Structure 1
Amino acid sequence: MKIVVLVKQVPDSGADRTLRTDDNTVDRASANNVINEMDEYAIEEALRIREANAGSEVTLLTMGPDRATESIRKALSMGPDKAVHVVDDALHGSDALGTSAVLAAALRQLEPDLVICGAEATDARGQVLPHMLAERLGVAALTGARKLTVEGSTLTAERQTEEGYEVVRAATPAIVSVWDTINEPRYPSFKGIMEAKKKPVSSLALGDLGIDAASVGAAGAYSAVVEHSKRPARAGGVKVTDNGDGGSQLVEFLATEKFV
């Protein structure tokens, strides 16, 4: 089975994240960039499927600037076989539609049986890319999985919901997105870290994928950040001093805040 895992390099969610002042895109140059946390669970799930199905192969696929290679090597140290990096200056500023078009073109070349990705990226929190990819590729989408079972060409997923879970099935090829409830990602071993340095990482540009540069990037985006400002500092709470009218003050405050 050919498995492709989508991996994204994102700014560390534990640190301050900012937008650039020139084009309102995420300032990745000054950020501490890491593997998108949810993608680690996708990698782990792919490795478990490979271990259970002899002859399977796991390929990482990422789209991003040159510096994304750092995260690719870290992801490879967990155990995937190889990686493909889509890198092109014209991709800067791409929205979800542009990103899905590029990744779909790369997936057509890779021809995987199964594509696994995190349910969301911590920088955008869009949760739309798996659906867009499935639509572009004309395959099934099993999204929000908390459990995945592979039996030959049949996939069975428990889709996490607010009320519990749903059981959904599809045949390969398919797109599966996972939540962090699906497994516990392994830590890279020293051997894995050393082997990751030698694993093949191939690069693809827009020309290799047959995509017009004008259709992606900021110029081809259908959505954009118009303006932004920093989150305001947290204000102090309202203190009610009871001078016999504390109850009235409390009700008035709750009404002002539309709690009652």
Structure 2
Amino acid sequence: MAQLSRRTAVVSLAAAAAGLAVPAARAATPPVTPLPQAHAHNDYLHTRPLLDALDQGFTSVEADVFLVDGELLVAHEPAQLDPTRTLRRLYLDPLLDRVRAHHGSVYPRYRRPVQLLIDIKADGVAAYEELHRQLRPYRRMLTTVTDDRVHPGAVTPVISGDRAARTPMEAQPVRYACYDGRFDDLTAPAPTPASFIPLVSGNWTQFFGWTGDGPFPAAERARLRTLVDTAHAQGRRVRFWATPDRPGPAREAVWTELLAAGVDHLNTDDLAGLRRFLTARAR
């Protein structure tokens, strides 16, 4: 260590003598704390898809995909399609790099799966069949379901969007993805196993009129807790989209109620805002 310090000093003195700027020593960046409730809605719209969310500790990210000429392209609308923005390039390959670097997990020493919510925008059956083909080479890092037995991996893909994808998925004896259900699935006459539907999602505005201003109506609070408790009793997680996401007290009021009710994933486009909220709540 002393030898290294002397060498550093010599280099610094030489640089100073030559009139060169000597860069200041950089402090080590502390590892990010993973946030189990943080879900990045439309993650691909951020400057660095996936990576910005991981830098903030998010444990669930959402990618919309279209099947175009045999490839799965990530975009919100057809007009935004770009052949360089593939699911493999933006999500699967970077996740695999992280899992390899961290010896089997996306975050160092974090042994829970990170969720990759894949929203199929069109051509549900064909898009899912191509997705299954693309997931197979990554299966060592993925949660795998074999005859309804779940083998957790570092990453759990969950398929949402075009509901036609459900039929081919249910017919498979081996899957590398699960399915994003709806709240109707909780009351189906023959409930689908949680191994197939581990997550149920719904539009907040279709269930609740409250948007964070004023007190949460008691009847709506009771409805929220009944939905969450029912899902949890069946071994499923809960997510709502279209919750208020404009920074301010109303958004924080809704997030507070969601956490109090046990909602598993808080949906946001504001990565830093949700991280600040969850970190402050954990103190």
TM-score, with length taken from structure 2:
0.26
TM-score, with length taken from structure 1:
0.27
Of structures 1 and 2, the one scoring higher in RCO (CA 8 A, sep 6+) is: 1
